[in-house]
Amino acid sequence: MLKHTALHPEHVRLGARLVDFAGWDMPIQYASQLDEHHAVRLSAGMFDVAHMSAVDLHGARVREFLRRLLANDVAKLTVGGKALYTCMLRDDGGVLDDLIVYFMDESWFRLVVNAGTTDKDLAWIRRHAADFGVDVHHRDDLGILAVQGPEARAKVEPLLPAALRAAAGTLENFQAAVDGDVFVARTGYTGEGGFELMLPHAALIALWKQLLDAGVKPCGLGARDTLRLEAGMNLYGQDMDESSSPLEVNLGWTVAWDPQDRDFVGRQDLLAQQKKGLVSKQVGVLMTERGVLRAGQKIFFADTDTPGVLTSGSFSPTLGYSIGLGRVPVTASGRGEVDIRGKRKAVRLLKPGFVRDGRSLVGAV
């Protein structure tokens, strides 16, 4: 049986097309996926992401614990509310999940993990937390709402509790503020500014309705996928999983190698992989011919017999071309050809990331 978020009745009332996403009954779109995508790029859209999980960690040794558990180093977090994007790795360096960790105070950190990985994440975290005396609290009493776009902050701030309005207005990227059970952060998954809000389920529904009245457009998973792809952001389970290391999926920048005596889970295998040399890497893929890039399509290169493969692909509403993320041989660069139904079409390889703050990053096509 599919699980429902607190906003599920709102999705039904608004006529959303619902699909099974990681065991949750979630909206893929409401009326037009294209309109929802453009709303986020041009004004403001909101996403029910309450299927994702907040996990609170408490204890005197919680920072020490997270320096062992995560590939990025929470020692960088010294100001309350600051956040860090990181991978949580297996012993062999495979990516168990990508997540955001927030430093609230010296005995409290908050993680936000993916929906489809929540159960295995909790089991892994609890297994390691026992040695550090850390309490692990899955905050399933909270829902999460993401409001994104150039007008998002102006729409959200007047609706926040009075005690949070001033703090929310001054938040920088990867920073959060909290008042009781209401938590507001600036991270994002679309390449646009905005807020992520965590609050009790009843308050979440009330805020959704207020934002709807304020003209914020409800957006489904379809628009979320094209937006994150334009922003060059990975989707766990598609662009990476336990079989891939962060070094192979353009996330090497999230691995904190210094100090060298910090022996985080997976470090030794990543070092061995680095020493041996990578076989593959992740790239952005742009196709300006007619056709749509899709996950699973092969990419061929003139200088190697080893093809690459698209891990994500879609039409980009902002650019008007087809874009994707691909895993290719580490020597691949410049141009290639993608096989679409037996026909090869020219593609250009780029650094992942096509659109940011409504602007194209790809240059002349």
Question: What are the DSSP calls for 159-200, one per residue?
Answer: GS-HHHHHHHHTPPTTEEEEETTEEEEE--SSSS-EEEEEEE
Confidence of residue 1 (pLDDT cuts 50, 70, 90): confident
| Mean per-residue pLDDT, 268-295 | 96
Confidence of residue 365 (pLDDT cuts 50, 70, 90): low
Tell me: do 295 and 188 sit in the same domain: no
Q: Does 249 reside within a domain?
A: no
Indicate whether 2 pLDDT > 70.
yes
* Mean pLDDT for all residues in the chain: 96
Q: Does 28 reside within a domain?
A: yes
Tell me: do 32 and 180 sit in the same domain: yes
- Domain stop point among 230, 247, 264: 230
| Mean per-residue pLDDT, 114-125 | 97
Tell me: do 176 and 307 sit in the same domain: no
What range does the domain containing 316 cover? 279-360
Tell me: do 224 and 152 sit in the same domain: yes
Tell me: do 181 and 324 sit in the same domain: no
Indicate whether 191 pLDDT > 90.
yes
Tokens 């100001």 locate to 79
Indicate whether 300 pLDDT > 80.
yes
Indicate whether 59 pLDDT > 80.
yes
Catalogue the long-range contacts made by 316-320 (C-beta closer than 8 Å, 24 or more residues apart): 316/226, 316/229, 316/230, 316/354, 316/355, 317/34, 317/37, 317/38, 317/41, 317/226, 318/37, 318/38, 318/41, 318/230, 318/354, 318/355, 318/358, 318/360, 319/230, 319/354, 319/355, 319/360, 319/362
pTM of the model: 0.96
Give dist(CA 331, CA 361) in Å, integer: 23
Tell me: do 179 and 315 sit in the same domain: no
Tell me: do 211 and 289 sit in the same domain: no
- Domain stop point among 230, 263, 292: 230
Q: Does 239 reside within a domain?
A: no
Indicate whether 305 pLDDT > 70.
yes
Number of domains in the chain: 2
Q: What percentage of the chain reaches a pLDDT higher than 70?
A: 99
Tokens 């200088």 locate to 303
Q: Does 16 reside within a domain?
A: yes
Q: Coil, strand, or helix at residue 226?
A: helix
Tokens 């005690």 locate to 163
Indicate whether 249 pLDDT > 70.
yes
pLDDT at 314: 98
pLDDT at 197: 98
Give dist(CA 131, CA 142) in Å, integer: 27
- Domain stop point among 172, 201, 230: 230
For residue 26, the one-letter residue type is M
Tell me: do 210 and 342 sit in the same domain: no
Indicate whether 124 pLDDT > 80.
yes
CATH number of the domain enclosing 321 = 2.40.30.110
pLDDT at 364: 63
For residue 50, the one-letter residue type is A
CATH number of the domain enclosing 190 = 3.30.1360.120
Q: Does 146 reside within a domain?
A: yes
Confidence of residue 304 (pLDDT cuts 50, 70, 90): confident
Joined together, the tokens standing for residue 321 give 């071309």
Tell me: do 219 and 147 sit in the same domain: yes
Q: Does 95 reside within a domain?
A: no
